Chains A and B, each alone.
Chain A
Amino acid sequence: MELTVNGERHSLDIEGDMPLLWVLRDELGIMGPKFGCGIGACGACTVLIDGVPERSCALPVQYVEGAVTTIDGLSGDGVLTAVQEAWIAEQVAQCGYCQAGQIMSATALLASNPAPSDADIDEAMSGNLCRCGTYPRIRAAVKRAASTQSARS
């Protein structure tokens, strides 16, 4: 089986029904996506497949068509994305466990909707649980990233 992750191609001898999350974590050692629930209910495992956010814990690897991007592949050469920079500026993370998934969801949101409303943010981000309750700062960070992205472009 062939899989492209963060621009790198991998050949894998694995069961087709293994969820992408465990292929990434246990077979490829890509630890950015986290395991939180295994049933698509928390968003900790969110990755992008051709830019679309997917819950990798509930996605059998045989159904992956397209290039996978994890948080590990977001920032090339240590240069952070506008979303990551906004997360730092707003000091969002507490325990941090959910934040890889939050950042991937926010990245996908801003790619498709550069100026999201509060309702857009709530809708796009409500699949990502945060037990530390960082939501107020997530909202601020998404807005900050939106405005820096629009200033850059």
Chain B
Amino acid sequence: MASVGKIARRTFLIGTAAIAGGLAVGAYAYRRPPENPLVARADDGEAVFNPYLTIAPDETITIFVPRAEMGQGVSTTLAALVAEELDVSLEKVVVEHGPASEAYANIAMLEDGLPFPTYDESTMATIARSGVGIAGKFLALHVTGGSSSTVDAFEKMRQAGATAREALKQAAATRWGVQPTELETDAGSVRNPATGETLSYGVLAADAVEAPVSRDIPLRAPENWKLLGKSQPRTDMRAKVTGAPIFGVDVALPDMLHATVRINPHFGGGVLSLDTEAARQMRGVHSIIEIDHRLGRGFAVIADNTWRAFMAADAVVVEWEKPNSTLDDAAVSELLAAAVGTGSRDVMRDDGDTDIIFADHARDRIIEAEYHVPYLAHAAMEPMNATARFADGRLDLWLPNQAPNLIQAVAAAALDIPTADCTVNTTSLGGGFGRRAEPDVAVYAALIARETGGRPVKLIWTREEDIAHDYYRPAATGRLRAALGADGLPEALDVVVAAPPIFSPMASRFYPSISLPGPDKSIVDGAFNQPYAIANYRVAGVKTDIPVPVGIWRSVGNSINGFFHECFMDELAAASGIDPLEYRLKLMAPYPVATALLEKVADMSDWRSEPAEGRARGLAFTLSFGTWVAEVVEIARDDRGIRVENVWCAADPGIVLDPGIFEAQMMSGIVFGLSAALGQEITLSEGRVQQSNFHDFDALRIDRCPAIHVEILQNAPRMGGAGEPSTPPVAAALGNAIFALTGERLRRMPFAHDVTFV
């Protein structure tokens, strides 16, 4: 029979032609991760080719994707990289998440890299570059994030498929006594065209993994691609339309308990007193424990049913410590205003001499504005959850997550066991958006599992807990000024953005002793790196410490600066009486990738024709995660309010591997950005968040969703990402449309403060 270990992992496969029926996990396989993490799993004759591919004698071809499937389609697009070179169709393969392993995420590099081994500390510039580099590595290499998945995998996973294909041909050639160059591969078989004989991959696999093959097999040219560059049916689609139990909340293990946590909602606070007497008497309650960890303090209820755990948690009488009791929105605004005015600036772009231009410039030709955005929660549809089992000194975790290695290290440390004694199994993610790169939920699950005598326990947060304990998109204030020349274009542009830093606190959540000195790129991302030719162009960030936990939120700093920068560009165009499209075409003239997109989106939206009465359009452009994006938003006004009717999006990721999935990601990012722009806001009072669920932290719903039109260009010289780049420009395009319609310039999100949307 198939080993129980195999059944356990196959339960959480993320895509397959024939989805398995029920969910019944028999037992567990305890194995230390070897160098190739799949070798030790290869039972019942499965041949392991590399960390991305196994082939079983029964012709089951399994492709392991190294990034988390959270909706962005990596289980299809990354699998297609292997399948393309292997000559198999995607319907014929099974897709799984690769286990936590150095083979997929170079954790050693992070651990070595963070303490800043060698760099010249003699100049600020060097420190700045180092800080940016480290932050970049942290984001791109060690989590599913930074829209980096396809970029990172593009060579590696095609090479994995090509090497396996050549090995299979070699194995067949040996059997037939011919040269491998005489053979062909197609649809999972090797064929000898001279004789018409075929041998299937399953039959050849065991020999093939022993076959010597060259390391540098040329990859197929794009014009010969059969799968890549064309829209593929998603490998996870059938599971997702049949309600298959693929998510973290669906994990079901024998003898499993259920749990929930309540962590002090006052950031950084502890537990003053805890009365569990009544709660412990309630039906189904197993135990109630205090949680005391640097990531959060509170309590957990363990029960035989999730709802009973929720009810018992409500019945616990707890007195919370209330640090930062004066922290509210006014305090945040003051901190940001002070920082943007007089805080220590990290200059991330400094072309020409901005100060000299402003000193000499006519006052009435200087435009100034201040912009602000609030904190935001991720509110992924699947509430935070993790299942843990702690037995015989080993910790097994099952959870939807974006950073298995990092979570493994922190969870193991929480139980004081070696990292190697912890396994992290990644289920499908019911949304991630950056939230699931954090270790907190896994730590709590581990601490709970220590109290259940070896029984597995599934921890599910309430939505209220999820909203109260996010790592929020930071609030930020931007101060922008421009000196307009005689031609109406900016001679100088000066941008200062104050926001809490993201990367240093995030790194210290994984490694408490580490702090990242130097600038935080996220504060100015989307402002300092835009393709505008302005001779005197300065962009600075001010790190502003505010005791609210912040983290990476879809498109990170670009979500802030796309709004600031692009609405301000619109202000400058308006002040100069120049059409915003023509204004950008002039400023971006040296960047033909950008101007082609502007022309494209102008065509799509019929920009150069006057909108009908009561309608208006707004334009914005952001280059982020290597993908260049121009968007136009069209709104219409009736007697009830303003309706967002259309969004046109022209995007250039250089190479697009799957146009259908790329289009879906552009739509997704636009809806995500519109949700924030229209109405989302996390507010603070007495050092805690005031929102609690979707009634007061809602998102765009279908009745307000505009028609979204996406076109893809492929002129950019390098490949860019898909998951995030459409988010940053959309709020700005909407703000600019509102200005065009009403003459009112909105400089504060969400716009629902000033506009009624219908």
Q: Which residues does A use to contact B, with CB under 8 Å?
A: 15, 18-19, 21-22, 25-27, 29, 31-39, 41-42, 44, 70-72, 74-75, 80, 84, 87-88, 91-100, 103, 121-123, 125-139
Contacts and interface: CB of A to CB of B under 8 A. Distances in A.
B381 A38 contact: no
Interface stretch (B147-155, B429-437, B480-488): B429-437
Given A26-B305, A103-B243, 13 more contacts: A22-B306, A25-B249, A26-B307, A27-B305, A39-B694, A75-B242, A93-B240, A95-B381, A99-B241, A128-B701, A131-B699, A132-B431, A134-B664
Contacts of A38: 310, 462-463, 693
A12 B538 CA distance: 68
Contacts of B382: 34, 36, 95, 97
A59 to B, nearest CB: 12
Contact of B306 (A26, A87, A127, A129): A26
A122 B675 CA distance: 17
Interface of B: 22-23, 69-73, 231, 233-234, 236-243, 245-247, 249-250, 252, 258, 283, 305-308, 310, 379-383, 428-433, 460, 462-463, 660-661, 664, 667-672, 675, 693-695, 698-703, 705, 707-708
B243 A70 contact: yes
B702 A95 contact: no
A113 to B, nearest CB: 16
Contact of A96 (B428, B661, B699, B705): B428
Contacts of B660: 91
B668 A134 contact: yes
A122 B237 contact: no
B279 to A, nearest CB: 15
Given A25-B306, A93-B236, A94-B664, A128 B702 contact: yes
A37 B693 contact: yes
B383 A35 contact: yes
Most buried by A among B252, B664, B670: B664
A126 B703 contact: yes
A18 B432 CA distance: 29
B241 A22 contact: no
A137 B694 contact: no
A91 to B, nearest CB: 6
Most buried by B among A26, A38, A128: A26
Contacts of A133: 667-672, 675, 700, 705
A91 B306 contact: no
A91 B432 CA distance: 20
Given A39-B693, A88-B233, A97-B430, A131 B705 contact: no
A137 B699 CA distance: 17
A73 B430 CA distance: 21
Contacts of B462: 38
Closest 7 CB pairs of A and B: A133-B671, A32-B243, A97-B430, A96-B240, A95-B71, A94-B71, A71-B243
B428 A22 contact: no
B70 A95 contact: yes
Given A39-B695, A97-B381, A133-B672, A31 B241 contact: no
A98 B694 CA distance: 14
B242 A84 contact: yes
A23 B234 CA distance: 32
Contacts of B433: 131
Contacts of B233: 88, 91
Nearest to B256: A26
Contact of B307 (A22, A93, A139): A22
B571 to A, nearest CB: 28
Contacts of A87: 237, 241
A130 B381 contact: yes
Contacts of B661: 91
Contact of A135 (B237, B240, B702): B702
A134 to B, nearest CB: 7
Contacts of B699: 129, 131
A71 B245 CA distance: 11
B669 to A, nearest CB: 8
B702 A122 contact: yes
A98 B381 contact: yes
8 contacts: A35-B460, A39-B695, A41-B693, A94-B73, A129-B381, A131-B379, A134-B664, A136-B667
A94 B381 contact: no
A27 to B, nearest CB: 7
Contact of A37 (B245, B246, B431, B694): B694
Contacts of A96: 71, 236, 239-240, 246-247, 428, 430
A29 to B, nearest CB: 6
B306 A34 contact: no
A31 B256 CA distance: 15
Nearest to A88: B237
A94 B668 contact: yes
Contacts of A137: 664, 667
Contacts of A95: 69-71, 380-382, 428-432
Contacts of B693: 37-39, 41
A37 to B, nearest CB: 5
B241 A80 contact: yes
Contacts of B664: 91, 94, 134, 137
Contacts of A132: 71, 381, 431, 668, 671
A153 B73 CA distance: 35
A133 B243 CA distance: 19
Contacts of B308: 18
Nearest to A137: B664
B702 A139 contact: yes
Contacts of B383: 35-36
Given A91-B660, A96-B236, A71 B702 contact: no
B267 to A, nearest CB: 23
Contacts of A22: 305-307
Contacts of B250: 31
Contacts of B701: 126-129, 135
B252 A29 contact: yes
Nearest to A100: B243
A103 B238 CA distance: 13
Nearest to B460: A35
Contacts of B73: 94
Nearest to A15: B283
A131 B669 CA distance: 10
Contact of B702 (A18, A34, A93, A125): A125
Nearest to B710: A136
B695 to A, nearest CB: 5
Contacts of B234: 91, 93
A25 B306 CA distance: 9
Contacts of A44: 381
A93 B71 CA distance: 7
Contacts of A94: 71-73, 664, 668
B671 A71 contact: no
A91 B664 CA distance: 9
Contacts of A42: 381, 694
B676 to A, nearest CB: 12
Most buried by B among A33, A39, A72, A136: A136
Nearest to A72: B243
A28 to B, nearest CB: 11
A75 B246 CA distance: 18
B668 A88 contact: no
Nearest to B24: A29
A83 B88 CA distance: 29
A44 B430 CA distance: 11
A18 B71 CA distance: 31
A103 B241 contact: yes
Nearest to A142: B702
B240 A99 contact: yes
A34 B430 contact: yes
Nearest to B466: A37
Contacts of B231: 91
Nearest to B696: A41
